[in-house]
Structure 1
């Protein structure tokens, strides 16, 4: 059995390391750098230029209470996020602006960029009622787009993400939920309370997260078990919170170059990166817990600049998840079960929902 402290990142350098060490005998003599505790992960990757082949990813994640429970359509009822990750990109100018705004973030040779489009839907417990229940959460939907950066510095990985969007009728929550209930799950009740949803409001958020991807790792019997702590903060009129958590993963030792599946914010972190398995297919078991100290949640606090329905939120919320990812060649599918503690006073039960993610590398 051996214990290692190999930090891996989702960056151009990561793809380079994976390709260089597996395909280039001329650099084989440098392989001992991977286990040298005096050499940082950033130093291992500096100067290595990644191949342009198969260094981009498209991921689609669908979160829904029907994927985790019987489908009660209450609280967080649905989330969809489409993401694109380029681990060997020429960074756009806005990336350098974000680099200047976030003092803890620095662009270097390992920096990658990702883009996302998403929609979240939140409803009270009884969607058949036309009137807003004064003791239940507001009807709300959020439609947004975001850009993010990932960079390896020393032995940690930093992520920043800036999002712009809209809350209110223009977020198309009513149309999306009614379409699904009519054409996908016709046995579901028709939602009648969307006339009570939050008012139109533009949204902005800026988030930062620092992860230590292989803070502790144990290899034995051909398997690798690792722990990855992280912490971060998000500021904006949608969410303002600080978070801390830890993720665990179990993989075949030869397939450790994987990150967690893409998730809908404020879910546990993951970019959706995965390497192509040498044997054609591989697997990845994961679990994690996270605590959030919440200062603002527009979906409970109501509109920022106008009067709207609101409830008394809990200032501390915790998530726990567990799941499995299966990779075949350039494709990965994953399932995650999520347990979220009660978010507001009067909430009957904690939220339980599932997430299905599909990823393609090209």
Structure 2
């Protein structure tokens, strides 16, 4: 099955974690997203990403000039560098019926992306706001290798062969830059019971590029113990609970729950509209898109060793509204996300 194949890829990436560890690193993790778990096997159908975070500030002169200039505009000039995140990944989109060889003009186009991404995070002096700057570069079309990846997994696990990749969005160099600000909302935060707390944060994000261009607003509610005022978006949930001080009431696992909502105004989406001025398949997008999410992070303090900190797992469910005209409104699209990683 596509889901099992993706999980094997994820586990393969996890084998690289010990080898890529360095003294300044804070975490390595791999994320697998798929919609099969909720029996909505269509549209945004699969993604695998491997990430490494490092406290070491390795920005070169040009990157430092760009991030400093962005922070002057965004009001984070006095913020301290928190960490850099390096990621590589692949994602794919398909129509609802992958067994049709012919073009499906009223369904989501076939599309794939193979990309590398770098993020720089800056924490305000009062630790109540967090700014994230992101630069992503990748390739779409046959260069993304989405077609052979999906066909290989379907062949290995005796699933129907995807037939429509001849109608995918074509090859292009895809670029995306974005800025996000997360800020704590103290008025909607406080103690629940004992050391268990609820923290609320709001965020905005602006993204521009020939991959996507959009503006987003959202909020998140985090429930756990000893939480920071504001934390990165999952899987960046931070839970510094000791082995005997856990929201799960079990000595061998620590828990943090995150609920979120986000709304976006989509100015452009290559995965739906295709490349400008090219003969790509495409559908008419909805400009306003929303999603609800729920995530649970589990930390396992007993897995700590001299070489690394505890391992963690994070599960998320994401329900998205219809992204294009003609998408079945009565069939909600829900994507599951599994992240496995280790802290240092």
TM range, normalised to the smaller chain? Answer: 0.7 to 0.9
Aligned to 2:189, what secondary structure does the other structure show?
Answer: strand
Structure 1 equivalent of residue 284 of structure 2: 312
Closer, same or farther in 2 for the Cα pair 1:273/1:320, shift >3 Å? closer
Length, aligned pairs only: 298
Aligned to 2:296, what secondary structure does the other structure show?
Answer: strand
Q: Give the distance between the partners of 2:68 and 2:221, measured in 1 at CA.
A: 32
Whether 1:192 aligns to 2:163 is: yes
TM-score (norm 2): 0.80
Aligned to 1:206, what secondary structure does the other structure show?
Answer: strand
Question: What whole-Å deviation, never above 9, does each CA across 1:232-289 have from its counterpart, x for those lacking one?
Answer: 110011110000000001102x3558846xxxxxxxx335253554216411011100
Q: Give the distance between the partners of 2:79 and 2:183, measured in 1 at CA.
A: 18
Structure 1 equivalent of residue 340 of structure 2: 358
* Pick aligned residue for 2:322 from 342, 354, 357: 342
* Pick aligned residue for 2:176 from 191, 194, 205: 205
Question: What whole-Å deviation, never above 9, does each CA across 1:162-185 have from its counterpart, x for those lacking one?
Answer: 0111111000111111122223xx
Aligned to 2:152, what secondary structure does the other structure show?
Answer: helix
Structure 2 equivalent of residue 163 of structure 1: 136
Closer, same or farther in 2 for the Cα pair 1:80/1:295, shift >3 Å? same
Structure 1 equivalent of residue 26 of structure 2: 56
Residue ranges of structure 2 left out of the alignment (5+ in a row): 1-21, 244-251, 302-309
Preserved CA contact (<8 Å) 1:113 1:148: yes
Residue 110 (structure 1) shift: 3.3
Preserved CA contact (<8 Å) 1:258 1:274: no
Q: Give the distance between the partners of 1:91 and 1:244, measured in 2 at CA.
A: 28
Aligned to 1:110, what secondary structure does the other structure show?
Answer: strand
4+ aligned runs moved over 3 Å, structure 1: 52-55, 88-95, 105-111, 213-216, 254-260, 273-277
Looking at both structures, which has the greater relative contact order when contacts are Cα pairs under 8 Å and sequence separation is at least 6? 1
Structure 1 equivalent of residue 49 of structure 2: 81
Whether 1:65 aligns to 2:35 is: yes
Residue 59 (structure 1) shift: 1.4
* Pick aligned residue for 1:180 from 153, 159, 167: 153
Q: Give the distance between the partners of 1:305 and 1:83, measured in 2 at CA.
A: 34
Q: Give the distance between the partners of 2:276 and 2:185, measured in 1 at CA.
A: 40
Residue 101 (structure 1) shift: 4.5
Aligned to 1:212, what secondary structure does the other structure show?
Answer: strand
* Pick aligned residue for 2:95 from 111, 118, 124: 124
The RMSD of aligned alpha carbons is 2.2
Structure 2 equivalent of residue 11 of structure 1: none
